[in-house]
Structure 1
Amino acid sequence: MNSAVLNQALEEDVDTEASLRIFSAGEETQFCDTGRSSGGTGSPSTPNGSARFRRKLRNGIREAAIMIVPEEKLAQAEQRARMHAASQEEAPAVQELMRCVALARISFGDFHWKMAQAHVNLAEGYLEVKGLALQAKQHCEKAKEIMYANTQHPASEEERKDILRCLITMFLTLGKALMGLQNLKEAEQSLLKSEKVADELRQAEEMAQEEIRQVDAKITLSLGRLYMKENRSAEAVARYEQLLRVVTLGKGENSMECVSVYRDLAAAEQARGAHDVSMQHLLQAHSIVLTNASSGEEEGQITLALAEAYTSTGRAEHLDIAERYYKQSLQCYQAAMGPEHASSLSVLDDYCRFLILTKNYPAASSLLQESLPAKLSTFGDFSTEAEETYRLFGGIELAQGHQKAAYKKFRKCLGIQTFLYGSQHKKTRETQQTVKLLSKSPEVALTEGRTGANHLKQRPLFCAVVPNHSTSGGTKANTCD
């Protein structure tokens, strides 16, 4: 952090209203009185007086900013960062967290635990707000270096608990960042360290149970997702069941916080083949959503999860139930967000894939045809959504034996894929192979032979079809003869 950044952190972001109040209490009155005593030549109503007044006002604000101690400016920056993060304002939130690092260094030095806390908060902002795992990892490692180099003992029990909270967040954020970078072994070690520090914090005096539950929930959720990435579904189920107990104890059995836990638990059960148990968890989550009269989007999400769960069993008796849930999910999304919204169109594609799976090709083709104008207007002609639609169209036509129509759809799909991914991409090359095979079929070859480039080769020579005419002026020559 260079000196320019530190000076900027010291001079910027003043509470303007407070500074104006400080200045107007003294300097403004004094200036106006001076202007009147001098015959009005320096009055703020004159151009020169107004410029002088604004210049003096800015100087007063700058002086007031210098009088604010860095610790107070640090608290203000932390508060602004939380406000920006709550409002989903990514750039301002991260900018304030950067300013916090500079102010923490000014206030406490390079090796104080609060300096490490500022790096941890910045790492958490990079990961949670902007989704940048590598930057989060780097700042967590910097915080770890500071914490290990810090030899000062806590001045009080409250400071000790703050240090433990900082360590928990540091190891938890580092674990999630490593998980995002696919370094799963080190991620697990970091998450287990955060769990160990949380156990120590739990034993501290006068700890709020709600805070402990929130910490346990974050760590347990991260461990469950880590085990799912490692295909350790049994351990993931154990973690999600533990998380469900924590959330139920703190929020109640019918709280909306339980819905996401039930969905994760259902995914873990399905991963280890327990489809019936998975569906029971999803039905419980669906019941909670209906009980709480939640938004249409939330109802659509859990209904779509139920449809996919019933489809995954492969049982014929579950297909009708799955179709009913697909229709309900699509209706929820369209009612809540509109039929042309990206989420609604995505659910419609999922429903079309289900119809193709059940060989209901006319219904799938009709839905795709109806949704194509909305996709082109929402995403554009050369988009992944348009490419997927033409690919599904081609698959439907090919399944029904319509090789000519399938050829046309796959040709359109190939053009979009070439534009999006290039000619050497895996998806493009697969479609090229499909188009090449279809072009050799008799139905397509016949059409291409009549209208394509081969038709020009098969046409007779120009002189063979154009009749011979007498040369220009031939009649006159014959008359003379």
Structure 2
Amino acid sequence: MMSAVPIRIPTDSTFEDLGSLCTTPKTIPSIHEDEERGSLLDYTERSCDSQEAPPQGLKNRALPVDKLSRAQRMADQYITHNEPLKAHRELIRCVALSRVIHGDGHWGLAKAFADLGYSYLTVRGLPLQARQHAESAKNILLRGVDMSKSVEEKREVLGTLVTIYYTLGVSHLLQNNGRESYLSLQKVEKIVEELEELQEKTSVLGKISDKDIALALGRACVLQDKLSLAMNFFEQAVRIVISCDGDSSAELINIYRDMARTEQMKKRHDQAIHYLLQAHSICQAVYKNLSEEAAHTGLLLAKAYAAAGQSDYNENADKYFTESLNVYQVVLGPDDPQTLNTCVEFSKWLIQIGKTQEAHKMLQDAVGSETEYSEIVAEMLSIMGSINLADGKIQKGYRLLKKCLEIQTVVYGSQHQKSRETQNLLTTLQRSGASGE
């Protein structure tokens, strides 16, 4: 039974490898966003010493502990009803109320910070803020917490540790810090293994699943170029999803994409194509053929066939490039950046196999007469200009590159590498007299 096993709160000596990730502050860091500051002040300024009886006129008002219970309940309800932003606001209130009720050294405040950090990660997509709050939670537990012997509190602390290290791991992952991500995610894996031994895994793990952990570990391994280990984690994630939801689950799409990317990094193009075919098949079944999701997997599949560099694959590459472009044009419109990006990828492959005029016409039709100032349009003009120069149409190529430079200067600035490269090419053409100017 879990009650016979003492809770092990990590100490600095236990997790020495995390010393470089953060410095334990003397006080809990303040929350820097306006909405949080307003919510925190709203609660803390109206708080009073919990040892004193409330004033006569406040007897019928809700106490902080009741407000905390309500905020936690409302956050759960909003998450259940898929209202994440409202849930996020309630979690901010939980931090403020937990500080009022428990003070700065209680595991309850650590849990509130951990939940808020996880919300910043999954709801707001802000890894820096997520790390800040997860580290605040970790620092509370590293300093040691006073806790009763209740099994429920032990479960809460273990669940908090899982949330902390998962949030840290994925936040580092989103910021391309592979090693730091892997170290934190290993902590999650170890805690989960201990929970399994204690037969408490089901009662502790909630919002973070085995699949989430395996997928994050796989992606962290990719960042460290540990490709074989990454594939092991991805395969583990696939097995979990299939066992729970079957082999047509939409959750498999992103996992198969990750597996394909990993195989491409290993130069195993046939294996990459295999996984992308599976992802594309599920996309078409779940989201139908005319969907942005199917267009995306179709484009990845086309690029995988193109990357293989085999003439036998040209027909398939052309097929999936064409399908993807047509779907994007229908679903998003001809001027959408995703549609234009597909044109660029398609044209690059056409040039690669010697169909330069076909590539030029495709780009010319896509750009049209109204030229927008964007990165993708600048790239299209650059490719068209290069095609014309290669065909000996110097003046036409010069005009296209001049327009390209105009857009690059606005988008990137005149000192950006792309702008300078285009400017150097134009200067060379001017000096040779080939530009006609």
Q: Same fold (TM over 0.5)?
A: yes
Contact persistence 2:385–2:398 (CA under 8 A): yes
- Secondary structure of the residue aligned to 1:129 is helix
Amino acid across the alignment from 1:9: Y
Q: Report the counterpart of residue 318 of structure 2 in structure 1.
A: 323
**Structure 1 position 304 matched with structure 2 position 299:** yes
Q: Report the counterpart of residue 122 of structure 1 in structure 2.
A: 116
- Secondary structure of the residue aligned to 2:434 is helix
Aligned residues: 391
Shift of 1:245: 1.1
**Structure 1 position 111 matched with structure 2 position 111:** no
Q: Report the counterpart of residue 72 of structure 1 in structure 2.
A: 69
Q: Report the counterpart of residue 465 of structure 1 in structure 2.
A: none
- Secondary structure of the residue aligned to 2:209 is helix
Contact persistence 1:171–1:190 (CA under 8 A): yes
Query: Mean Cα displacement is larger for which, 276-285 or 287-296?
Result: 287-296
Cα gap change, 1:157 to 1:308, in 2 (>3 Å): same
Contact persistence 2:158–2:204 (CA under 8 A): no
Q: Higher RCO, 1 or 2 (CA under 8 Å, sep at least 6)?
A: 2
Question: Which one of the candidate residues 417, 425, 429 is aligned to 1:438?
Answer: 429
After superposition, give the CA deviation of every residue in 1:327-357 in whole Å (9 maximum; x if it has no partner).
1111222233333333222222222222222
Shift of 1:308: 0.7
Contact persistence 1:113–1:163 (CA under 8 A): yes
Cα gap change, 1:321 to 1:199, in 2 (>3 Å): same
Cα gap change, 1:322 to 1:275, in 2 (>3 Å): same
1:161-180 alignment, distance < 5 Å: 161-180=155-174
Percent identity between the aligned chains? 34
Cα gap change, 1:383 to 1:210, in 2 (>3 Å): same
Question: Which one of the candidate residues 341, 353, 356 is aligned to 1:358?
Answer: 353
Query: Mean Cα displacement is larger for which, 206-215 or 315-324?
Result: 206-215
Contact persistence 1:123–1:135 (CA under 8 A): yes
Amino acid across the alignment from 2:68: E
Contact persistence 1:340–1:375 (CA under 8 A): no
Distance in 2 of aligned mates of 1:94 and 1:373: 44
**Structure 1 position 261 matched with structure 2 position 295:** no
Question: Which one of the candidate residues 336, 352, 355 is aligned to 1:341?
Answer: 336
**Structure 1 position 157 matched with structure 2 position 151:** yes
Q: Report the counterpart of residue 133 of structure 1 in structure 2.
A: 127
**Structure 1 position 428 matched with structure 2 position 419:** yes
Contact persistence 2:74–2:87 (CA under 8 A): no
Cα gap change, 1:64 to 1:315, in 2 (>3 Å): farther
**Structure 1 position 313 matched with structure 2 position 308:** yes
After superposition, give the CA deviation of every residue in 1:8-67 in whole Å (9 maximum; x if it has no partner).
13799xxxxxxxxxxxxxxxxxxxxxxxxxxxxxxxxxxxxxxxxxxxxxxx9x997646
Distance in 1 of aligned mates of 2:400 and 2:83: 44
Contact persistence 2:299–2:320 (CA under 8 A): yes
Cα gap change, 1:182 to 1:257, in 2 (>3 Å): closer
Q: Report the counterpart of residue 474 of structure 1 in structure 2.
A: none
Distance in 2 of aligned mates of 1:338 and 1:329: 12
Shift of 1:190: 0.9
After superposition, give the CA deviation of every residue in 1:62-117 in whole Å (9 maximum; x if it has no partner).
99764672223432552476379x4564xx66544322210121233222222111
Distance in 2 of aligned mates of 1:429 and 1:282: 38
Q: Report the counterpart of residue 248 of structure 1 in structure 2.
A: 242
Distance in 1 of aligned mates of 2:119 and 2:206: 22
Distance in 2 of aligned mates of 1:95 and 1:435: 54
Shift of 1:408: 0.9
Contact persistence 1:77–1:99 (CA under 8 A): no
Cα gap change, 1:64 to 1:296, in 2 (>3 Å): farther
Contact persistence 1:198–1:215 (CA under 8 A): no
Distance in 2 of aligned mates of 1:437 and 1:168: 60
Shift of 1:196: 0.5
Question: Which one of the candidate residues 380, 385, 388 is aligned to 1:389?
Answer: 380
After superposition, give the CA deviation of every residue in 1:277-302 in whole Å (9 maximum; x if it has no partner).
11111112222233435461121121
Distance in 2 of aligned mates of 1:7 and 1:283: 53
- Secondary structure of the residue aligned to 1:356 is helix
Amino acid across the alignment from 1:433: N
Shift of 1:407: 0.8
Shift of 1:211: 5.5
- Secondary structure of the residue aligned to 1:351 is helix
Distance in 2 of aligned mates of 1:210 and 1:110: 24
Q: Report the counterpart of residue 369 of structure 1 in structure 2.
A: 364
Cα gap change, 1:186 to 1:401, in 2 (>3 Å): same
Contact persistence 1:78–1:100 (CA under 8 A): no
Choose 1 or 2 for highest CA Rg. Answer: 1
Cα gap change, 1:211 to 1:4, in 2 (>3 Å): closer
Q: Report the counterpart of residue 227 of structure 1 in structure 2.
A: 221
Contact persistence 2:72–2:90 (CA under 8 A): no
After superposition, give the CA deviation of every residue in 1:406-431 in whole Å (9 maximum; x if it has no partner).
11111111112122222221111111
Distance in 1 of aligned mates of 2:105 and 2:369: 57
Distance in 1 of aligned mates of 2:276 and 2:122: 27
Cα gap change, 1:204 to 1:66, in 2 (>3 Å): same
Q: Report the counterpart of residue 15 of structure 2 in structure 1.
A: none
